[in-house]
Each structure stands twice: as C-alpha cells, then as structure tokens.
C-alpha cells in the first residue's frame, strides 16, 4: 500500500548486526501496571543538571505535583507519580552513570488523587514559547534511552536552522516493544505530538523512521497521516531491521546521507531526532496539560507472562517482575533498557525511571576473552566506521591518547562489535574504561 507517496523507499545498511529480535510482546496490548505502594523518585533522571527537592518530608502530594525542580536550563523537573505523603529520602544508583542519586519516597494514600490539570482551551493557538514552557513543566525527557530534556532539544541555537525532523520508531533493540505498541495504540497522540514538534521547529521535512519488522505500525502511521490530514511534508521511511538502526546518527546518515560531526549532535547538520514515545508524551503535556508521570515499559524475557505495561515512575522493578509472573528458568540477569545498550541491575527495589523502556530478564552471557585474531568482524559491523579492536588494544595497554587518535569519541557504545567478536573480547568495556580515563585527564588539565 502506498498512499500519495507518503511511504518512501525502504533503506538498509551493510553495517551493524542482525540480532535475534525476540519481540515476545509485539502483539500484547499495553496493560496498566498496579500503582506502587511506595514510589521511589530519583531527583536526577535526565542528562544535565539534577533537581532540588521542592517538598519536604511529611508533605502531602498529589499525583502530578512537582516535587523536584532546578533553575538550570538542561534539566527536567520531577513529579509525584502517586498521591500520598513524602515519607523520606533514599540513595539509589543511577545505572547509566553509576552515581549515587538522591531519591524521594512517596508513600501512597491509595487514592491516586491528581492535581487539577490545566489543558489549554485551544491547543492550536499556543505560541512556541508556551509550548516549550509546557513541555519543560511536564518534565519531559527523550524516551529512547538517553533521557535528554525534551525542551532543550526543541530549542536549537538561534543560528541553527533545523530543516529535518526524524521521528524515531525504529526500536532496533531486541526484546523491547514499547515504542511499537505506543505507535499502534496511541498513534494519533504520537502524530499530534509530532505535529507540535513541527510547529516548534518548522522543518522542511519530517520523516517517520520505522524498521520493517513493524509492518503493522508502518501501515497504521500511513493511514493516520492521511486520516488526520497532516501536511504533505510528513513521510514514512521504512528501514531494514538491523541493530543499531535506531541510533540518531545512523538515522541521519541513512535517511539524509548526512554525517554528524564527531562529538557533535544531529542538530549540527540541521536534524533533530525524537522518539515516538516522546512525541506521545509531548501531546499529553501540551494538549492535555498532563505532567510526565508514566510510560510504557516492556517487561520481557524469562518471566512467566511478558507484558507491555503502562508504569508510573518510581514503581520498583520487583513489583513489575512479580506482576508478570516472576522469573523463570535459569535467568540471572536483569537488564534495564535493551539487551545491547541497557544496564544490568542488581537492586530490584530500583524504580522505573523516565529512561526505562524495558526490563529484560535473561541468562547472562559468559565472557571468555581470548586474544584478538584480527578477523576484522568488529570493523565490518561498526556503524561509526571505527576500528574497535584497535581501540580495545590501545585501552588495554593504557595508551589512551592513541584511543583518542583512533576517534574513540565517535563511539556511542552500541555493542555491535562485541556482539560480533569471535574472541569474545568485551570491546565496549575497554572503550568505556578508556573514555573514563580520558575524561579524568581532561578534568585535570
């Protein structure tokens, strides 16, 4: 089916790896997870500045009430996700940064009483400034995993012209289906959110990128574009399923042939990439005036009943795993996010936070490192055209300056190299160590 040329030709890449998809939950409708009795809400869930608590112990809070905020620009406020009482604080380890972060604990009163929502009378009439203020106030961050504050991404520097917006519905990580289900079940909200992005950035072209393992989502988005009468600069780009197709820099290259400069962002080449779930959240924030308190999380792998769950932030992993029937078989690893770039978690009282798109329970893979046999598989699969084996070799020898010379900054740690490595060398780990050492040196200077 191809209505009015909305769907462009399918694109593919020789780079990256074919990973078994294991999308166990692709056909499972989103279910609402039970509200937590205690919500643990870290005050730092985004890239950028942390929040300060704006409530204190013993305060009564309503669902959607702001409990943490900051006057820094690169920050997103945190809201209470259930109604109840602030019963204390705790420290949790934020998996991506491995840093200890303060978290507020809200003990539920069981009522889930919301603050009064203030949707705009006529969303069409909102100015760009008002839209951005609403997005920020709702505490929105990018939901693809990086958790970069959305209002910042929507405010490019004045001298930067954004000519293209890419809506990312690739979901190239195995197992996870949250974006897929969001497109199917909240398609109109996704496109409404995209339309708001369109209004803010007024790009020439808008591409909705979806991998071809989600044919139903491609069809549905196409129908909706017609049904909603969106402008004819909305196009759908089907992409051949391959990991890491959904990485921003890969999409920019695939769809536009533009390479983001090393250390730069897509906006440096006139592109902004937003995730489909983020677009849906933008709709909720701007049109419905709803703060960002829940998201769709895929709980899958070795659980009895894998599910797509609509989860309030702060819900501990334990309760979600139990809700899905508990862990089965010999699984001994719990990964937050996708199995390629996600972080394994040891503490099941850790909560779902804004960046959590999946909880995967699986058997861990043994790492049995051998010497490099120079097979060059890592070079063949690297989507950034790097030479991972050299980076690892330098890192192992502590020759970090040479890592820098081999463009280690270009690596976004997708893990395709380590997936393909026959010698089972933990290439990403070595690269991470080298990056950390280089960052330390940079601070010293």
Query: Which residues 173-202 are close enough to bind another protein by CB under 8 A?
Result: 174
- Structure token digits, residue 254: 């695939």
State the Cα–Cα distance between residues 12 and 21, nearest whole angstrom. Answer: 17
Q: Does 341 bind another protein (CB under 8 A)?
A: yes
Report the nearest approach of another protein to the CB of residue 418 (Å).
Answer: 5
In the complex, the smallest distance separating the C-beta of residue 348 from another protein, rounded to whole angstroms, is 7
List the structure tokens of 360: 């995967």
Closest CA to 268 of 280, 278, 258, 255: 258
Please report the beta strands in 113-191, taking only residues with DSSP state E, as ranges in sequence order: 164-169
- What does 44-86 look like in DSSP terms, one character per residue? --SSSPPPEESS-TT-EE-BT-EEEE-SSSS---EE-SSSEEE
98 SS3 class: coil
Residue 258 DSSP symbol: P
Give the separation between CA 185 and CA 236, rounded to whole angstroms: 18
Structure tokens at 442: 């940079």
Nearest Cα to 109, choosing from 36, 41, 56? Answer: 36
Residue 159 as a binder of another protein (CB under 8 A): the answer is no
Binding mask 242-281 for another protein (x = CB under 8 A): -------x---x-----xxxxxx---x-------------
Residue pair 230/208 in contact (Cβ under 8 Å)? The answer is no
Q: How many residues in the shown chain lie near another protein by CB under 8 A?
A: 71
> Using the rule CB under 8 A, which residue among 342, 351, 355, 358 binds another protein?
342
Give the dihedral sign, CA 313/316/322/324: positive
Q: Which is nearer to another protein, 55 or 379 (CB)?
A: 379
Q: From the CB of 3, what's the least distance to another protein, in Å?
A: 34
Residue number with CB closer to another protein (227 or 262): 262
Of the residues 185, 188, 333, 437, which one makes contact with another protein according to CB under 8 A? 333
- If one asks whether residue 122 binds another protein (CB under 8 A), the answer comes out as no
Residues 373-402 that bind another protein (CB under 8 A): 373-377, 379, 383-387, 389-390
Q: Among residues 137 and 173, whose Cβ is nearest to another protein?
A: 173
Query: Which residues 6+ apart lie within 8 Å of 281 measured at CB?
Result: 138, 140, 143, 150, 193, 292, 295
The two structure tokens encoding residue 89: 């604080």
Minimum gap (Å) between residue 303 Cβ and another protein: 11
CB atoms within 10 A of CB 253: 19
Q: Considering only the stretches 73-81, 144-152, 199-207, 361-369, report the one whose residues sit in contact with another protein under the rule CB under 8 A.
A: 361-369
Neighbours of 60 (CB within 10 A): 14
- Which one of the spans 106-114, 145-153, 286-294, 338-346 is the region binding another protein (CB under 8 A)? 338-346
- Binders of another protein among 400-419, rule CB under 8 A? 406-407, 409-410, 413-416, 418-419
By rule CB under 8 A, what string of x and - marks binding of each residue 204-243 to another protein? ----------------------------------------
Quick one: which of 279, 340, 392, 434 contacts another protein (CB under 8 A)? 340
With CA atoms as reference, report the closest residue to 362 among 390, 338, 391: 338
With CB under 8 A as the contact rule, the residue among 335, 353, 395, 403 that binds another protein is 335
Beta carbon of residue 266, minimum distance to another protein (angstroms, whole number): 11
Q: How far is the CB of 354 from another protein (least distance, A)?
A: 19
Tell me which of 372, 395, 403, 434 binds another protein, using CB under 8 A: 372
Which one among 346, 443, 444, 445 touches another protein, defined by CB under 8 A?
A: 346
Q: What angle do CA 433, 362, 304 make, to 5 degrees?
A: 155
Distance separating alpha carbons of residues 191 and 211, to the nearest angstrom: 17
Complex with another protein: residue 223 or 333, whichever CB lies closer: 333
- In the range 9-68, which residues lie near another protein by CB under 8 A? 17, 19-20
Nearest distance from residue 369's CB to another protein, in Å?
11
Burial 359-391 (b: 16+ CB within 10 A, else e): bbbbeeeeeeeeebeeeebbbebbbbebbbbbb
Residues between 301 and 320 that touch another protein (CB under 8 A): 318
Neighbours of 99 (CB within 10 A): 12
Binding residue for another protein, selected from 124, 125, 232, 371, defined by CB under 8 A: 371
Tell whether residue 162 is a contact of another protein (CB under 8 A): no
Q: What is the closest distance, in whole angstroms, from the C-beta atom of residue 382 to another protein in the complex?
A: 8
- Closer of 110 and 326 to another protein (Cβ): 326
Comparing CA positions, the residue from 406, 335, 281, 388 lying closest to residue 173 is 335
- Residue 362 lies near another protein (rule: CB under 8 A): yes
């Amino acid at each position: 089916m191809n209505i009015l040329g909305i769907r462009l030709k399918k694109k593919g890449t020789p780079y990256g790896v074919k990973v078994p998809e294991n999308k166990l939950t692709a056909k499972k409708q989103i279910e609402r997870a039970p509200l937590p009795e205690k919500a643990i809400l870290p005050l730092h869930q985004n890239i950028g500045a942390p929040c300060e608590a704006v409530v204190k112990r013993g305060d009564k809070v309503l669902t959607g009430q702001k409990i943490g905020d900051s006057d820094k620009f690169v920050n997103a406020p945190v809201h209470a996700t259930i109604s109840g009482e602030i019963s204390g604080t705790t420290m949790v380890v934020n998996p991506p940064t491995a840093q200890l972060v303060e978290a507020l604990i809200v003990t539920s009163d069981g009522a889930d009483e919301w603050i009064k929502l203030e949707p705009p009378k006529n969303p069409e009439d909102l100015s760009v400034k008002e839209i951005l203020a609403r997005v920020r106030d709702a505490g929105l961050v990018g939901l693809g995993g990086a958790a970069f504050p959305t209002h910042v991404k929507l405010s490019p520097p004045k001298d930067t012209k954004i000519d293209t917006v890419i809506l990312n519905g690739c979901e190239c990580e195995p197992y996870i289906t949250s974006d897929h289900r969001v497109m199917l079940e909240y398609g109109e909200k996704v496109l409404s959110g995209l339309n708001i992005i369109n209004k803010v950035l007024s790009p020439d072209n808008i591409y909705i990128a979806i991998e071809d393992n989600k044919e139903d989502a491609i069809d549905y988005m196409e129908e909706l574009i017609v049904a909603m009468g969106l402008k004819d600069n909305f196009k759908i780009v089907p992409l051949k399923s391959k990991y890491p197709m959904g990485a921003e820099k890969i999409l920019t290259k695939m769809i536009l042939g533009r390479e983001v400069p090393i250390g730069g962002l897509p906006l440096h080449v006139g592109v902004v990439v937003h995730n489909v779930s983020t677009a849906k959240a933008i709709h909720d924030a701007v049109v419905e005036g709803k703060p960002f308190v829940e998201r769709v999380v895929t709980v899958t792998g070795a659980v009895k009943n894998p599910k797509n769950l609509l989860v309030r932030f702060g819900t501990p992993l334990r309760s979600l795993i139990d809700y899905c029937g508990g862990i089965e078989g010999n699984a001994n690893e719990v990964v937050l996010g996708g199995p390629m770039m996600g972080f394994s978690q040891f503490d099941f009282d850790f909560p779902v936070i804004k960046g959590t798109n999946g909880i995967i329970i699986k058997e861990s893979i043994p790492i049995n490192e051998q010497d490099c046999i120079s097979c060059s598989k890592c070079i063949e699969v690297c989507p950034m055209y790097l030479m991972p084996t050299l980076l690892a070799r330098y890192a192992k020898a502590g020759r970090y300056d040479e890592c820098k010379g081999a463009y280690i900054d270009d690596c976004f740690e997708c893990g395709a190299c380590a997936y393909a490595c026959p010698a089972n060398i933990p290439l990403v780990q070595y690269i991470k160590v080298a990056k950390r050492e280089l960052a330390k040196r940079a601070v010293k200077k």
